[in-house]
A and B are shown apart, each in its own frame.
Chain A
Amino acid sequence: DGGITQSPKYLFRKEGQNVTLSCEQNLNHDAMYWYRQDPGQGLRLIYYSQIVNDFQKGDIAEGYSVSREKKESFPLTVTSAQKNPTAFYLCASRGGRSYTFGSGTRLTVV
């Protein structure tokens, strides 16, 4: 079945460490997105990519980095520069006007 896979579901890291969240899709979608969700804040856009080897900053890109070397993959790195990285992260892809979301990764930094 086609879909988006985010791994792992739960991730724990020590403060000051970089961590990379995985997002893979087999929907053949060109566009992919990363969102962050905090309690009571809704979903905020971190980065998005419309095509391979190209990506743009969203509303809250500071402290994050991405790459888009393959159509299927859009990993997100949470760097040590992100001041408050503990959150729920959702990846999405778009085909036409349909957006498909992954099941999310809950990152906790201790």
Chain B
Amino acid sequence: AQKVTQAQTEISVVEKEDVTLDCVYETRDTTYYLFWYKQPPSGELVFLIRRNSFDEQNEISGRYSWNFQKSTSSFNFTITASQVVDSAVYFCALSNRDDKIIFGKGTRLHILP
């Protein structure tokens, strides 16, 4: 069975603080893809990153960074020096060879000014 768990339902931090969103996944496949999406109040899903199961290199994009660890089945997302515009719901997701994408329940992030 496939599953994505985002244990943090809601997080609040003060602007300029760093914040890490946790994601733990389950899959029996050896080939799979992991994603992070941002959902602002308007509702659309904004793609942030895709990582395949064979690439465990961490990635940094501006203030965003991702830590992929197969040993713990985790794909955590860190925002450095958070800003109010980062306030949104963030989803971690998993897809495998059947091409369905399965989402976690999301983490609502509040960045307080």
Contact = CB atoms under 8 A, between A and B. Distances in A.
Interface residues of A, number: 25
B44 A42 contact: no
Interface in A54-75: 58
Query: Which of A48, A50, A92, A99 has the most CB atoms of chain B within a 10 A radius of its CB?
Result: A99
Given A31-B99, A48-B100, A99-B35, A104 B43 contact: yes
Nearest to A40: B105
B102 interface: yes
A97 B53 CA distance: 13
Interface string A24-52: 00000001010100001111110010100
19 contacts: A31-B99, A33-B101, A40-B9, A41-B105, A42-B104, A42-B105, A43-B91, A45-B100, A45-B101, A48-B100, A88-B43, A97-B50, A97-B52, A99-B35, A102-B44, A103-B42, A104-B43, A104-B44, A106-B43
